[in-house]
């Protein structure tokens, strides 16, 4: 006797993302996995008396979406912090006003945490400094994080609390900006790890729990059923934190946690290697930060070779953060020289690949690396890029069409909380190459956009391939995990202008309904 499904979804427009059967009407689920895909009559015929039946009401059913590059706990934190993104505060004066109002409800001595400012988008076109913040917040240490995560501003009390003064040397990976007298201005570059080790930001466990609950619901409301956490400091304690959040179902999306390059040995000592874990939490690539923030590659090319060789020797593929074209080229060079990965291990990855002119793309293609990038940056940051990125480079910024045409494996993520993790504005910009004000962003020879079907694949099957879980995720196929999202429009037939406004109506993880909207 054939197994009876626990759940059937009928009367739906099923986009399976499986080329062997692209469309269907109904899906049956048993024990967390897809049992069958077919017509309403076929699937109804499988149901038993205890089977839950969901009427899809003619809406579109997709595989659960996968965000291939996100910083989940940072996203959770921002739900509990002051939003200073450009649309909320367009000048330093507006930021300080918001900080002043927020500080009124925070007990004296506790940290005022703020996120999302962008110096390039501010009227003054500069970073705020401690002097801007001191007068309006003398009794609170204040921390203002740049939207990129690569810069932070502290007021004077914040600097004092962090132990930073004129005598403090620059940490190995960061820069303390100083004035003509050698005094810190309050602006810090690439110092998140330094601050996390030295600053008690006053975040209670209860407050963090509230943030995780809010971030979990946000992702589920977008139909995101899996995420790849790209924290560069991820180590055993972060693994344990994710384990507890998932086991308690505070976090319901599946998680692949990257291993921080500097924490790889600790994870190995804890018995964790690439692919360790289960379908709810698993260990992924080694995350390496390769930046040009100080005007030179950090780490150096030689140091990157060493980090990469050690990661490969212990069975990990690499995921290298690269924004500038020099960093992308360096990562491609190093990856090209690595030995082949074992069977079943996904390719090395270049994260962001933001600046990718043709000669750099050629190097990426030769390296065999995959690219995980963020078309949502064009959507949200397009107007800023027009003002701040050299005109000759703009058509090569997030050049997803050119990357796809070069047959480089490609997947999409959000980099949240840098931008909103909503995948639909990102898909809209991937297809139209337009920003949030509807203006086309420069491209050459269609270098910047892909088809809607391709964009969907980057958030489903290609995303699963980027982490090595394509046997279990990415399509609605019998045997795969029943991670599904019901949305209010068919993305393949809707006018592309409507892509950004698609909404999830229901999100299912492992055959369980975990979120419902109107």
Looking at residue 218, what is its pLDDT? 95
Q: In the listed set 170, 198, 226, which residue is the last one of a domain according to the structure?
A: 198
| CA–CA gap between residue 259 and residue 268 (Å, rounded) | 10
| CA–CA gap between residue 211 and residue 451 (Å, rounded) | 35
pLDDT at 179 over 90: yes
Residue 189 sits in the same domain as residue 223 = no
What confidence tens digit (pLDDT) does each residue in 457-503 have?
Answer: 999 999 999 999 999 999 999 999 999 999 999 999 999 999 999 99
Omega before 515 within 30 of 0, i.e. cis: no
More confident residue, 138 or 367: 367
The predicted model scores a pTM of: 0.88
Per the domain annotation, does 258 fall within a domain? Answer: yes
Per the domain annotation, does 516 fall within a domain? Answer: no
Q: Nearest Cα to 303, choosing from 292, 323, 288, 287?
A: 288
CATH of the domain at 182: 3.10.310.70
Residue 210 sits in the same domain as residue 192 = no
Among the ranges 111-115, 150-154, 256-260, which has the highest mean pLDDT value? 256-260
Per DSSP, the three-state class of 479 is coil
Per the domain annotation, does 517 fall within a domain? Answer: no
Average pLDDT over residues 120-135: 93
Looking at residue 486, what is its pLDDT? 98
Residue 440: pLDDT band (50, 70, 90) is very high
Looking at residue 204, what is its pLDDT? 62
Q: What percent of the chain clears pLDDT 90, i.e. is strictly above it? A: 84
| CA–CA gap between residue 456 and residue 450 (Å, rounded) | 10
Residue 30 sits in the same domain as residue 96 = no
- The number of C-alpha atoms within 13 Å of 507 and in the hemisphere containing its C-beta is 23
Residue 85 sits in the same domain as residue 125 = yes
Number of domains the chain is built from: 3
| CA–CA gap between residue 322 and residue 134 (Å, rounded) | 35
Per the domain annotation, does 514 fall within a domain? Answer: no
CB atoms within 10 A of CB 395: 17
Residue 102 sits in the same domain as residue 193 = yes
Least confident segment among 22-36, 100-114, 451-465: 100-114
User: Average pLDDT of the chain?
Assistant: 94
Residue 213 sits in the same domain as residue 318 = yes
Per the domain annotation, does 1 fall within a domain? Answer: no
| CA–CA gap between residue 475 and residue 459 (Å, rounded) | 11
Per the domain annotation, does 465 fall within a domain? Answer: yes
Per the domain annotation, does 381 fall within a domain? Answer: yes
Residue 184 sits in the same domain as residue 299 = no
What confidence tens digit (pLDDT) does each residue in 242-300 have?
Answer: 999 999 999 999 999 999 999 999 999 999 999 999 999 999 999 999 998 778 899 99
Q: In the listed set 198, 218, 237, which residue is the last one of a domain according to the structure?
A: 198
281-317: b (≥16 Cβ within 10 Å) or e: bbbbbbbbbbbebeeebbbeeeebbebbeebbeeebb
Least confident segment among 189-203, 346-360, 482-496: 189-203
- Residue where the block lists tokens 């309904």: 513
Looking at residue 1, what is its pLDDT? 44
Our measurement of the distance from residue 490's CA atom to the centroid of its chain's CA atoms, rounded to an integer in Å, reads 24
Q: Contact at 8 Å (CB) between 226 and 253?
A: yes
pLDDT at 202 over 50: no
Residue 109 sits in the same domain as residue 135 = yes
pLDDT at 207 over 80: no
Containing structural domain, residue 130: 81-198
pLDDT at 140 over 70: yes
Average pLDDT over residues 306-312: 96
Q: In the listed set 139, 171, 198, which residue is the last one of a domain according to the structure?
A: 198
First to last CA, the chain: 38
Residue 109 sits in the same domain as residue 255 = no
Task: Kindly report the three-state secondary structure assignment for every residue of 254-301.
Answer: EEEEEEEHHHHHHHHHCCCCCCCECCCEEEEEEEEECECCCCCCECCH
Per the domain annotation, does 513 fall within a domain? Answer: no
Looking at residue 108, what is its pLDDT? 85
Looking at residue 200, what is its pLDDT? 54
Least confident segment among 41-45, 64-68, 291-295: 291-295
Question: How buried is 413 (Cβ within 10 angstroms: 0-12 exposed, 13-18 middle, 19+ buried)?
Answer: buried
Residue 267 sits in the same domain as residue 400 = yes
Residue 136 sits in the same domain as residue 228 = no
CATH of the domain at 31: 2.30.40.10
Residue 40 sits in the same domain as residue 100 = no
Q: Contact at 8 Å (CB) between 225 and 208?
A: no
């Amino acid at each position: 006797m054939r197994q009876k499904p626990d759940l059937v979804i009928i009367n739906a427009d099923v986009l399976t993302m499986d080329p062997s059967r692209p469309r269907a009407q109904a899906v049956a689920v048993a024990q967390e996995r897809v049992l069958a895909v077919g017509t309403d009559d076929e699937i109804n015929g499988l149901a038993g008396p205890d089977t839950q039946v969901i009427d899809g009401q003619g809406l579109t059913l997709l595989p659960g979406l996968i965000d291939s590059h996100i910083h989940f706990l940072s996203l959770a934190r921002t739900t509990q912090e002051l939003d200073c993104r450009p649309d909320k505060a367009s000048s330093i004066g507006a930021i300080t006003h918001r900080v002043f109002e927020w500080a009124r409800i925070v007990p004296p001595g506790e940290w005022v945490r703020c996120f999302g400012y962008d110096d390039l988008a501010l009227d003054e076109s500069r970073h705020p400094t401690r002097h801007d913040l001191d007068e309006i917040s003398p009794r609170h240490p204040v921390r203002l994080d740049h939207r990129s995560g690569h810069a932070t501003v502290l007021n004077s009390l914040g600097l004092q609390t962090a132990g930073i003064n004129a005598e403090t040397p620059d940490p190995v990976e960061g820069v303390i900006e100083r004035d003509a007298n050698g005094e810190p201005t309050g602006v810090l570059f690439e110092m998140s790890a330094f601050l996390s080790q030295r600053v008690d930001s006053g975040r209670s466990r209860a407050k963090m729990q509230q943030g995780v609950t809010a971030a979990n619901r946000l992702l589920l409301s977008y139909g995101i059923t899996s995420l790849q956490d790209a924290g560069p400091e991820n180590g055993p304690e972060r693994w344990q934190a994710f384990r507890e959040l998932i086991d308690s179902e505070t976090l319901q999306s599946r998680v692949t946690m990257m291993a921080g390059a500097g924490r790889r040995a600790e994870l190995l000592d804890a018995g964790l290697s690439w692919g360790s874990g289960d379908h709810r939490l698993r260990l992924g690539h080694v995350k390496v930060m390769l930046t040009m923030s100080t005007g030179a590659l950090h780490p150096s090319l030689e140091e990157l070779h060493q980090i990469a060789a050690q990661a490969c020797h212990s069975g990990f593929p690499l995921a290298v953060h690269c924004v500038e074209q020099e960093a992308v080229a360096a990562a491609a060079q190093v990856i090209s020289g690595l030995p082949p990965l074992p069977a079943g291990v996904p390719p090395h990855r270049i994260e962001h690949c933001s600046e990718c002119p043709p000669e750099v793309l050629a190097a990426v293609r030769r390296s065999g690396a995959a690219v995980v990038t963020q078309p949502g940056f064009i959507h949200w940051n397009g107007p800023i890029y027009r003002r701040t990125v050299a005109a000759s480079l703009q058509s090569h910024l997030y050049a997803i069409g050119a990357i796809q045409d070069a047959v480089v494996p490609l997947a999409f993520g959000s980099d949240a909380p840098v931008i909103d993790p909503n995948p639909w504005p990102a898909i809209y910009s991937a297809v139209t190459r337009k920003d949030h004000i509807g203006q086309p962003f420069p491209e050459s020879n269609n270098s910047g956009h892909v088809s809607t079907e391709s964009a969907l694949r980057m958030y489903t099957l290609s995303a699963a391939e980027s982490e090595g879980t394509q046997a279990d995720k990415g399509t609605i196929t019998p045997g795969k995990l029943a991670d599904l999202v019901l949305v209010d429009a068919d993305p393949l037939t809707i006018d592309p202008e409507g892509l950004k406004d698609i909404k999830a109506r229901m999100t299912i993880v492992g055959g369980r309904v975990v979120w419902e909207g109107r």
